[in-house]
Amino acid sequence: MDLKDQSVIDGDVMDAPWSSAEATAYAPAVDDGQPASTELDTDVCAVILAGGSGTRLWPLSREQYPKQLIGLLKTESLLQQTVSHIEGLDTGFPAAKRMLVVCGEAQRFITAHQLRDVGVAAQIVLEPARRDTAAALTAAALMLRHEGRDSIMVVMPADHAVGDAAAFRRALSAATHYAAQGSIATLGVVPTHAETAYGYLKIGEPMSAFGGFRLGGFVEKPGIELAQRYVASGTHWWNSGIYVVRATTWLAAIGELQPAIFAACTQAVEGLTMDGEFCRLDPLAFAASPADSIDYAVMEKIGNLKNDVPTVVIPLDAGWSDVGSWDAVANALPKDAAGNGTRGQVVMERAASTFVHAEGRLVACVGTRDLVVVETADAVLVVARDAVQHVKGLVAQLKAKQCPEADTHRKVHRPWGTYESVDNGERYQVKRIVVRPGASLSLQMHHHRAEHWIVVRGTALVTRGEETFLLSENESTYIPLGVRHRLVNPGKLSLELIEIQSGSYLGEDDIQRFEDHYGRS
């Protein structure tokens, strides 16, 4: 599946973006649960579900910048690693010219930027509200049907890790052959130890082709003793949450088992509009969908369908992890002889079974045992390794106290680049701003603050009132309160500057936009 060397929106895939009239007039082809028409085109299309929040990985993962966008294990983010895992997928079926990525509104620009950075063509679908994976997959399947395609959907979360990409692709290839015949295939991970953080799949008799097994059922996350029995029996594998299924097979199943989800998603796709490179589902219709996962909504009830849909498990032995906790991250990284793992600037003395992730400052540990330490610019987490599942409760406390550290980092990502708070006090704030090559901030004005800009790298094209001028390194300018202004990077290198704000109110909501390339109001 060659996804390189294309823009995020490939004009050959969707001949032209849907107009409002076309989107409003659309009526999905599947409304009666009947099999797909032979006139529909079949291809293999990756559907990446990138709407998670990853609260158990705070303080690195936060509401506005969740774990799929972070380089937890490598330099690349988990999203970028996920899309790279399916490059070169050889199934024998035609490969789609681009994948579908479903993500949240707040993450749309950074998601698009990260996909562009690795040369991946994707259609980005925005979830107006979080309604879990069943609704996200249903909307994606309906969009494929609108395009006249009965795609074999390779459905995977964007926030999992795989060590052996070749083995992963072999398992997916086998799964596509079952899906092409009308089955729902899932990847089951042969367990390496008793794990209580994962659900399990009960394995049935082997199938005659492609190395699969019949799915005997789903099992909730077990206690440690039951998990040990599962591993010893060899009949229960970890549930990866990765599925391969035809669009029409999924739509028929969700339409019968969860008609409310199907109806809401149908209306949401009927009201779909294009916003630049993004597909916007109708917000009121999508919000009306019940929130449910693929497992609960369909897979655990699949035996209740009027027409039997075979369910198949493909064994996956590829170093898979859902990296759902700091202990899982620690287990996925190399360790020293004492069981310690580190990322960043870390020094250990007489420590054992300690994992440290340092973002900026030096972290030193002496005599620590069975700990996880995570350092970021504005927060430090220290947690016992047997308590990492409770970090989610800690984040809930932070949100209840309205702590900004629950939602945002000190470095904030914008469609044009990033800004980072360096210092602040009464009536002033200092930021470091980085603008990507060719990018532009909106034409804007502030009612309560003035700004000083000092260029430290690159060249800035500045609009201030009626004048436009260039600033080079070590040059500066002043933006008075109430004056329209804009900052553009006209060069081929990143523009870096220091911004000093001063005034009676310095909140991010003190901004009036007049023109914006990114469609923000």
Looking at the structure, tell me whether residues 456 and 399 fall in a common domain.
no
| Mean pLDDT score of the chain | 90
Do 201 and 219 meet the contact criterion of CB atoms below 8 Å apart?
yes
Looking at the structure, tell me whether residues 94 and 193 fall in a common domain.
yes
pLDDT at 42: 87
Q: What digits encode the pLDDT tens for the residues 331-343?
A: 989 999 999 999 9
Check whether 27 has a pLDDT greater than 50. no
Q: What digits encode the pLDDT tens for the residues 285-328?
A: 999 999 999 999 999 999 899 988 999 999 999 999 999 999 99
Which residues have a Cβ under 8 Å from the Cβ of 372 and sit 6 or more positions away? 326, 327, 330, 354, 355, 356, 381, 382, 383, 384, 385, 388
Contacts from 2-5 at CB under 8 Å and sequence distance 24+? 2/87, 2/88, 2/95, 3/83, 3/86, 3/87, 3/98, 3/99, 3/119, 3/120, 3/121, 3/122, 4/87, 4/119, 4/120, 5/119
Residue 114 in any domain: the answer is yes
Q: Write down the pTM of the prediction.
A: 0.86
Domain range enclosing 389:
335-405
Sheet with strand 417-425: strands edge to edge: 411-414, 417-425, 428-435, 495-503, 449-457, 476-479
pLDDT confidence of 9, banded at 50, 70, 90?
very low
How many domains in the chain?
3
Do 449 and 506 meet the contact criterion of CB atoms below 8 Å apart?
yes
Residue 274 in any domain: the answer is yes
Give the percent of the chain with pLDDT over 70.
92
Which residues is 341 bridged to in the sheet? 355
Check whether 45 has a pLDDT greater than 60. yes
Looking at the structure, tell me whether residues 436 and 467 fall in a common domain.
yes
Residue 323 in any domain: the answer is no
Residue 37 in any domain: the answer is no
Looking at the structure, tell me whether residues 198 and 115 fall in a common domain.
yes
CATH at residue 71: 3.90.550.10
Looking at the structure, tell me whether residues 77 and 53 fall in a common domain.
yes
Q: Can you tell me the mean pLDDT for 214-232?
A: 91
User: 343, 371, 405 — which closes off a domain?
Assistant: 405
User: 282, 316, 350 — which closes off a domain?
Assistant: 316
Q: What residue has token string 């707040």?
A: 106
Looking at the structure, tell me whether residues 389 and 420 fall in a common domain.
no
pLDDT at 521: 65
pLDDT confidence of 41, banded at 50, 70, 90?
confident
Do 371 and 364 meet the contact criterion of CB atoms below 8 Å apart?
no
pLDDT at 1: 53
- Report how far residue 386's alpha carbon sits from residue 398's, in angstroms, rounded to the nearest whole number: 21
Looking at the structure, tell me whether residues 153 and 291 fall in a common domain.
yes
Residues composing the chain? 521
pLDDT at 39: 61
Looking at the structure, tell me whether residues 237 and 381 fall in a common domain.
no
Looking at the structure, tell me whether residues 252 and 104 fall in a common domain.
yes
CATH at residue 501: 2.60.120.10
Residue 521 in any domain: the answer is no
Q: Can you tell me the mean pLDDT for 84-112?
A: 91
Q: What digits encode the pLDDT tens for the residues 480-494?
A: 999 999 999 999 999
Check whether 29 has a pLDDT greater than 50. no
pLDDT at 392: 93
Q: Can you tell me the mean pLDDT for 236-257?
A: 96
pLDDT at 429: 96
pLDDT at 34: 39
Residue 385 in any domain: the answer is yes
Estimate to the nearest angstrom the gap between the alpha carbon of 498 and the chain centroid: 30
pLDDT at 385: 94
Looking at the structure, tell me whether residues 149 and 63 fall in a common domain.
yes
Residue 163 in any domain: the answer is yes
pLDDT at 53: 80
Looking at the structure, tell me whether residues 374 and 418 fall in a common domain.
no
Give the percent of the chain with pLDDT over 90.
78
User: 247, 282, 316 — which closes off a domain?
Assistant: 316
Q: What digits encode the pLDDT tens for the residues 64-77?
A: 899 999 999 989 99
Residue 15 in any domain: the answer is no
Looking at the structure, tell me whether residues 389 and 434 fall in a common domain.
no
- CA distances 394 to 397, 398, 405, 461, Å, are 5, 6, 12, 44
Of 28-32, 181-185, 356-360, give the lowest mean pLDDT range.
28-32
pLDDT at 76: 94
The residue with greater pLDDT, 129 or 3, is 129
pLDDT at 379: 96
